[in-house]
Copies of this chain bind each other. A is one copy, B any other.
Amino acid sequence: MSSPSGPAPRAASDLEKNANISRNIVWHETTVDRNARESNLAQRGTVVWFTGLSGCGKSTIANELDRLLIARGAASTLLDGDNVRHGLCAPPSGLAPEHGDEFAERFGLGFSPVDREENIRRIGAVSALMSSAGLITLAAFVSPYRRDRDRVRQMVEAAGQTGDFLEVFVDTPLEICKQRDPKGLYKKAIAGEIPHFTGISDPYEAPKSPEIHLRWREGMTPADAAEEILQAMVDRGVFASRS
């Protein structure tokens, strides 16, 4: 049931319909509708996906947006390297040492092209689960390949509907990112110490039509950028006023 102040109700997604069918066979008839979750939260479950070069500011802006969202009473969460690296996308060394190398080598994620792709695929799957639960899910990863980002969009929309995925292109010139170099990674990449580094030795495929395009300008602050995204979310009907 949707409260008068809640977001407009959704039609059941294909995945939900299929789940309902399979659940009916095994007597799971009490499945909760996504609208009911979103009505409790007075928001639509949405994925805000930040993409851009290392050092472009995506994590800083995502943290600032997270802060703004929580301050206005929303239910949001943030996925970035800090919280997926030791769990969901753990490297080989972080996995079940009691199994020895077979387990770790098979399931741990490194930096090869397929490992990076699986990394984004897994984060995308989790983003889809979180937005299905009604959360506003902020994800900040370089995610340089268009195909990988489009696959995330498809996963999120398949669990909901078109409009649940907002791609934010943090479009900071490479020269600025290199000057900032907060972790010293560009220096190492240019010295050849980090192979396949986006922008140096590996391509960055810019989004063709991101929902939000943050063009860098002199003096722009993370707070400015976060406010711009928040306003776009309001305009798109992500929130409804709590009555």
Q: Chain A residues in contact with chain B, CB under 8 A? A: 15, 19, 22-23, 25-28, 30-32, 36-37, 40-41, 59-60, 63-64, 66-67, 70, 73-79, 82-84, 86-88, 90, 95-96, 99, 102-103, 106-107, 114, 117-118, 121-122, 124-126, 128-130, 132-135, 151, 155, 182-183, 222
Contact A122:B30 (CB < 8 A) given known A37-B77, A83-B19, A106-B114: no
Are the C-beta atoms of B40 and A70 separated by less than 8 Å?
A: yes
Contacts of A25 in B (CB 8 A): 182-183
Contacts of A103 in B (CB 8 A): 114, 117-118
Are the C-beta atoms of B88 and A129 separated by less than 8 Å?
A: yes
Q: Within the assembled complex, what's the spacing in Å between the Cα atoms of A27 and B124?
A: 26
Are the C-beta atoms of A63 and B125 separated by less than 8 Å?
A: no
Are the C-beta atoms of B66 and A30 separated by less than 8 Å?
A: yes
Q: Which 10 A-B pairs have the closest CB atoms?
A: A77-B133, A87-B125, A88-B125, A26-B182, A30-B63, A30-B67, A19-B82, A107-B118, A36-B70, A32-B66
Are the C-beta atoms of A87 and B128 separated by less than 8 Å?
A: yes
Q: Within the assembled complex, what's the spacing in Å between the Cα atoms of A106 and B104?
A: 12
Q: Within the assembled complex, what's the spacing in Å between the Cα atoms of A31 and B66?
A: 8
Contact A87:B129 (CB < 8 A) given known A40-B74, A59-B28, A75-B37: yes
Distance in Å: Cβ of A163 to nearest Cβ of chain B: 19
